[in-house]
Structure 1
Amino acid sequence: MKVAMVIPPYRYGADPSQWITVPPQGYGGIQWVVATLMDGLLEAGCEILLLGAPGSPVQDGITVSDAVETAEIHAAVEAFGPDIVHDHSNTAALPADTPRPTVSTHHLNGVPELQTNGIYLSRAQRTAAGSVSAPVIRLPVNPARCQFQEAKDDYLLFLGRVSAHKGVREAAAFAHAAGVPLTVAGPAWEKDYLDALLADFPHTVRYVGEVGGSARTRLIARARAQLVLSQPWGGPFGGQWIEPGASVVSEAAASGTPVIATDNGCLPEIVPGVGTVLPIGREITPDDAKGVLASLPTAQVVRETAVDRWGHHTIARQYLAVYKRAVSGEVWT
């Protein structure tokens, strides 16, 4: 099957002369997801045109387009002649009226701009978007892109955007209660929030900025646990934040690193079996924190569960089944 994969084109923050690639140089949740999905599609025999990520590594079966403007992307899609267009941009990079069979994975909160033939990352995200029957396909993970380490170092990890809705302060409070250092890795676009975090937890938090490549995989693999204490407020677009898919969960788990999460959005759907879910707003005492850490599943169990649930082969097969529905003319909302 010929697949046109469209992602939103974003400039790389550390070097605005570059576009964020697939896989990304540093922070880039959608880009990590697409890279892993393409692994599975390629192994299933698909031919892929990647749009919205100029400069991405070229490999057999993937053509990387330089197109970033909507009209350019439309022209590149038509020249490629795909069987299916898979849009990850919520129409930001692709005309909503494209004549090709199209599916759209929704990566954000709320109601998507284009609801026809939508695919959601979790039941919670789908419900918030007002859909009851659209497909739910979890975020994929390729164990070959992860580093597995059974013996862990003595630190906890927060990986992602350093913002209130991502629960970085809550992660620091948990680590402080547990008496374990917290490494925070990710972009900090809200400087006041980061400054307050470092001031309030000077002996707990170590901020390392954005990390990519092998440094990123090592950081995840060596952590004692990944903290995903997402909060239902203060989201990047205002209103209630419902955690949509949480790629950090599957990636950490495939590295053998268990997850400690809140019950926001998708998290109670995916974390059981690879970690522990805590109620939002729960006050964590030192005994609580130490008990949670002591009860986490082993690295081997976590990795096996992640690969079984979200391995790139499994998720690619699920997407191919949905592609075939769209190609046959089926329409859903």
Structure 2
Amino acid sequence: MRIAQVAPLYESVPPFAYGATERVVSYLTEELVRRGHDVTLFATADSSTAARLVPICERGLWRDTAVWDTLTHHVRQLARVAHLAHEFDVVHFHGDPLHFPLARSLPCRSLTTLHGQLLPVDHGPLFREFAAAPLVSISDDQRKPVPSANWLATVHHGLPRDEFEFQPLPDDYLLFLGRLMPGKRPDLAVDIARRTGLPLKMAGKLHPGEREYFAKQIEPLLQRSRDFTDYLGEVGGTLRKELLRHARALLFPVEWAEPFGMVMIEAMACGTPVIAFGRGAVPEVLEHGVSGFIVDNVEEAVWAVARIGDIDRAQCRRAFEARFTATRMADDYLRVYERLIAGTGMRAAVPASDSDADAQVCG
């Protein structure tokens, strides 16, 4: 099968540190190549892949201090995709739906995996306008704001089986690893660690739009908690893997509708259990009592830390192997590609007046 993967240009594929979407694109691309498919990756020039690479910009846009307008580079990327589209059976887009108008006129099938949170006011009108656009969700929960869109499947993320090494004997620290944003509640991770008396290692990506939040809410908290909190900034590579492997537990106290939560399955692959608030996709990813504990608040999280020894780290690893490998992810996507090529994933556009409940959001 001739497959194009179109990655966001914010980070390389795979990313150096933060970048769940780019990491998933990399895992999927390499697994498809391994199976003998003819794969082309549209990404940054500093990406690393066994596929044919079509480079768009020199490096990840978030790491290029000369870049101001990231949209211009994504427009150029779409032009390259359109120019080469006759070479593919399927073009698989990841990320923002900027390509929707273009996809209507491509000479091949197209598919979009949406990796972020969906909002009825924004995405409801978009999906009514492009009602025929074939979509994949990364969790069933992600679909809830716009259930009438053309969902072909839910495909949970997956990792290569050997990407993370199993660690049966952890060190004595808790870990927060992820984007430092209000919805991820890094402040609650500090509170949980303080109440349990365990040290906390915190590492994460800080986006420009969240610097004020970090400066006002998190930095002072870290200063007050420096006797038990070790803030490491953004980490990648071996250090990131070692942090996950050796943690007693990963704290995931999200208070937003998390679309998936890649770091949860990375922890599971190490045998590291996750203590997470049951928001968004968390109940789809975690098995309570098997791969961690699903809790509702800080008090329950503190209880879960005290019970974390009840989780069998080998069983946690087996839960990852059963559900979240790149092999399973590629299988799922190949089934969707085959449906598209056979014409069974197509939907005729419907007038906006014919759409269901989410059509009323904008009044």
Whether contact under 8 Å (2:188, 2:298) holds in the other structure is no
Q: How does 1:21-36 map to 2 (within 5 A)?
A: 21-36=12-27
Aligned to 1:17: none
Letter in 2 for 1:180: L
Whether contact under 8 Å (2:295, 2:301) holds in the other structure is no
Pair 1:317 & 2:331 matched = yes
Q: Separation in 2 of the partners of 1:77 and 1:50?
A: 14
Letter in 2 for 1:8: P
Q: Separation in 2 of the partners of 1:170 and 1:147?
A: 28
1:304 aligns with one of 318, 327, 341: 318
Aligned to 1:283: 299
Q: Separation in 2 of the partners of 1:191 and 1:282?
A: 23
1:109 aligns with one of 112, 117, 128: 117
Pair 1:57 & 2:48 matched = yes
Whether contact under 8 Å (2:8, 2:22) holds in the other structure is no
Post-superposition shift, 1:191? Answer: 2.6
Q: How does 1:185-224 map to 2 (within 5 A)?
A: 185-188=203-206, 189=211, 190-224=214-248
Q: Deviations over 1:166-199 (max 9, x none)?
A: 0211111111122111111112333323213313
Unaligned runs of 5+ in 2: 58-72, 350-363
Unaligned runs of 5+ in 1: 11-19, 233-241
**Secondary structure, counterpart of 1:146 in structure 2:** coil
Closer/same/farther in 2, CA of residues 298 and 53 from structure 1, 3 Å limit? farther
Whether contact under 8 Å (1:117, 1:134) holds in the other structure is yes
- Taking every aligned residue pair, what percent have the same amino acid on both sides? 29
Q: Separation in 1 of the partners of 2:77 and 2:325?
A: 33
Q: Deviations over 1:279-319 (max 9, x none)?
A: 1x353485x24433233x22211111101101111110110
Post-superposition shift, 1:49? Answer: 1.4
Closer/same/farther in 2, CA of residues 285 and 216 from structure 1, 3 Å limit? closer
Letter in 2 for 1:323: Y
Post-superposition shift, 1:88? Answer: 0.6
Q: Separation in 1 of the partners of 2:74 and 2:116?
A: 21
Q: Separation in 2 of the partners of 1:265 and 1:285?
A: 17
Letter in 1 for 2:80: A
2:341 aligns with one of 309, 327, 331: 327
Letter in 1 for 2:229: V
Query: If the length of structure 1 is used for normalisation, what is the TM-score?
Result: 0.86
Whether contact under 8 Å (2:103, 2:110) holds in the other structure is no
**Secondary structure, counterpart of 1:124 in structure 2:** helix
Q: Deviations over 1:249-283 (max 9, x none)?
A: 1111111111111110000111113111001x353
Query: If the length of structure 2 is used for normalisation, what is the TM-score?
Result: 0.79
Letter in 1 for 2:56: D
Letter in 2 for 1:249: M
What value does the CA root-mean-square deviation take over the aligned residues? 2.2
Q: Separation in 2 of the partners of 1:36 and 1:268?
A: 23
Q: Separation in 2 of the partners of 1:223 and 1:77?
A: 45
Letter in 1 for 2:112: S
Q: Deviations over 1:125-174 (max 9, x none)?
A: 11123248541110111122212221111111111111220021111111
Q: Which has the larger radius of gyration?
A: 2
Aligned to 1:265: 280
Closer/same/farther in 2, CA of residues 265 and 131 from structure 1, 3 Å limit? farther
Closer/same/farther in 2, CA of residues 260 and 130 from structure 1, 3 Å limit? same
Closer/same/farther in 2, CA of residues 192 and 92 from structure 1, 3 Å limit? farther
Higher relative helix content: 2
Closer/same/farther in 2, CA of residues 257 and 131 from structure 1, 3 Å limit? farther
